[in-house]
Amino acid sequence: MRGPHNLWRLIATGATFERTGAMKVILDAYDAPPVLRVAARVLGWPFQWLGLKGDPNVPPVTRALTALGPAYIKFGQVLSTRPDVVGPDLARELRVLQDKLPPFSQAEARHAIETELGHPLEDIYSDFSDPVAAASIAQVHHARLRETGQDVAVKILRPGIERAFRKDVDAFYFAASLIELLSPASRRLRPSDVVEHFDGVVRAELDLRLEAASASQFASNTATDEGFRLPSILWMQTGRRVMTMDWVEGAPLGDNDALDAAGHDRVVLGQRVLTLFLNHALRDGFFHADMHQGNLKVGPDGAIVAYDFGIMGDIDAYTRRVYAEILFGFIRRDYQRVAEVHFEAGYVPADRDVAEFARALRAVGEPIFGMDATRISMSRLLNYLFEVTERFGMETRTELILLQRTMVVVEGVARSLNPSINIWEVAQPVVQGYIGKNVGPLALVRDLGQTAQVMARFGPRLPQLVERALTDQMEAKPDSTPRRGIPGWIWGLCGIALGALAACGAMTL
């Protein structure tokens, strides 16, 4: 339930960070000034006895996040891909959150399988291993199908995970409402909408049938992508809490030593990760939105193999064009066009100054070009972007949250493979290719053709729709009031013209 009782959860969060020593580690990682360190100690120390102790055998930040629960673990997974933000040591420490969490018991795994699939475990799998990976939502076992002898991976949700996430998300809702109440300026960031979006993502991730469907769609979209493949889903051995798929052999993308020993080129892999993500987001509008190292392997043939499809991003064609034009504008250093796209899309209020916004974007973009990634302070860049958006009244776009978050994660993964990678240089050919196909005269002709198809489907109904609109207008107009606006006979002619245009369009397609 969302209410003031969640204040206890928020206090316990801060107390847990203090009690486990995670607060000091985080302050050190961000090189916090003395004033902030003193404030954190004064506010945190009296309440540390309320915090969770966690596992004393693991490092402080990992200890705090695992003690607090799955939603916090998800946050740590994102940070683990950003050594430029939290530092290489902390990023390495957090990487265990990706797939090396404590597993649940074999007895609980057996119970989940037999309850979900309706058969004894031995009737389905001839071999069933101990957990080979355990993450915040589920764990994976290596098994062999009794009927075919096929090696498979069996993913099983953690017992009670739904209730655990519900508790955390309710606390997040309360925190968001508290922030909006105490800080009216924060409302433009729409914290409640952001939490609601996160809530929807989590709910989908807790039904493995939806994950299986996402994997199937993703496989269909990417079937021709060179150097990329996905495991196949075995639908007969899949349910809400259990999913079975092909077993994937390969080196973890987060293990650079293993990649080097296998002879893989990490520079090529880093470029491929970025290129694949941009292609999936722009070309298909459907992308893997949890692309951290724990969900990626490199096969013996050098292909990147993705799995864990619980979080997928889906963006419409218009949003993809806006995103591509913004990226392309930055790549070309055409900040005026980037500013115009923001205004055209409604991302910035129309009463703000376009030229001034373009200059602010130039201050963000110019430091990037001509540098390799090792010289770019992403945390400083993100901080300045936040200041710019606040200054110009931009609101948080919930439809872009996953896209933005995944872009951050993917860049972090690519950087872990090749610290000198430059995201803009890798992105340029992908974005330029998309722009060439989807923005310009050819795209306009294609859009008009699609519009004609829609009009052709609704053509027979156009006269009725026009007549109904005119009737409603006449009934709503007082008798003493002269008719204003466009005369009805013009609307009728427009309807006839649109119907004819639709028919012609349908014949030419």
Cβ-contact 125, 242 below 8 angstroms: no
> Among the options 290, 316, 334, 372, which is catalytic?
290
**3-class SS of residue 460:** helix
Helices 266-279, 401-417: crossing angle, 10 deg rounding: 170
* Domain parsing of the chain, residue ranges: 6-97, 102-224+234-243, 248-439, 442-508
Q: Which two tokens stand for residue 503?
A: 């028919």
Please tell me the pTM assigned to this model: 0.72
Q: What values do phi and psi take at 462, rounded to 5?
A: -60, -45
Cβ-contact 248, 231 below 8 angstroms: yes
Contacts of 464 (CB under 8 A, 6+ apart): none
Cβ-contact 298, 306 below 8 angstroms: no
Cβ-contact 103, 131 below 8 angstroms: yes
Task: Check if 290 is active-site.
Answer: yes
Cβ-contact 309, 296 below 8 angstroms: no
Cβ-contact 238, 212 below 8 angstroms: yes
Residue type, 244: T
pLDDT tens by residue, the chain, 509 residues:
555 666 777 777 778 888 888 888 777 766 666 765 676 666 566 777 777 888 888 888 888 888 888 778 877 776 665 565 566 677 777 777 766 678 899 999 999 999 999 999 999 999 999 999 888 788 999 999 999 999 999 999 999 888 888 888 887 788 778 777 766 766 666 677 767 777 777 777 889 999 999 999 999 999 999 999 999 999 999 999 999 999 988 999 989 999 999 999 999 999 999 999 999 999 999 999 888 888 899 999 999 999 889 888 888 888 888 888 888 888 788 989 988 988 888 888 888 899 998 998 888 778 766 665 556 554 455 556 666 766 787 766 666 667 777 887 888 888 889 988 877 788 889 888 888 888 766 666 666 666 667 667 766 776 777 777 777 766 665 554 544 554 544 444 454 445 544 444 444 44
Helix ranges, 280-391 (H) = 317-332, 335-344, 354-365, 378-391
First-to-final CA distance of the chain = 54
